[in-house]
Amino acid sequence: MRAVITRVSSASVSIDGRVVSEIGRGLLVLVGVANGDGTADTDYVAAKIRDLRIFSDAANKMNLSVVDVGGAVLAVSQFTLLADVRRGRRPSFVGAAAPDVANEAYEGVVSRLRDSGLVVRTGMFQADMQVASVNDGPVTIWIDSRSET
């Protein structure tokens, strides 16, 4: 499972020109599910999202998590994070999980974040979405549950 986590001042998801989800200060998280991802991957990614200390404290050091600052999470499923571009010019997505499996894993991440007390907004699975964000810093962190465990 891969996730790209961006610290934001605000972020939103629109579909057909209508805002369907938005947050203020917090994290915009793009989540891609790979073939073979399971509960351990879901748990790992959700814990990292929740606990990463990427917000500044009073001394301007990145020592606070999204929980610590009372921030929210906007989670968006994005299978293109699993693109393989090693050959040719067209990305291959054979490493991405099938939609039904991917949605279940994505919803698992969202559920675990909500269970930890975070306010979590979401995009719409498999929709053509426009994602807007005001990046803060910018601070962007990439997580891959398979390369980090």
- What are the domain boundaries of the chain? 2-148
* Tokens 């698992």 found at: 108
Q: Can 6 be counted among the known catalytic residues?
A: no
Q: Give catalytic status of residue 78 as yes or no.
A: yes
What pLDDT was estimated at residue 149?
46
Task: Establish whether the linkage from the previous residue to 91 is cis, with ω within 30° of 0.
Answer: no
Selected catalytic residue, list 6, 42, 55, 79: 79
> What angle do helix axes 39-51 and 99-115 make, rounded to 10 degrees?
40
- Known catalytic membership, residue 149: no
pLDDT in tens, 83-113: 999 999 999 999 999 999 999 999 999 999 9
CATH class of the domain whose range is 2-148: alpha beta
List, in order, residues 6 or more apart from 7 with CB less than 8 Å away. Answer: 26, 27, 54, 55, 135, 136, 137, 138, 139, 140
Q: What pTM was computed for the model? A: 0.94
Model confidence pLDDT, tens digit, residues 10-48: 999 999 999 999 999 999 999 999 999 999 999 999 999
- Residue 148: pLDDT over 70: no
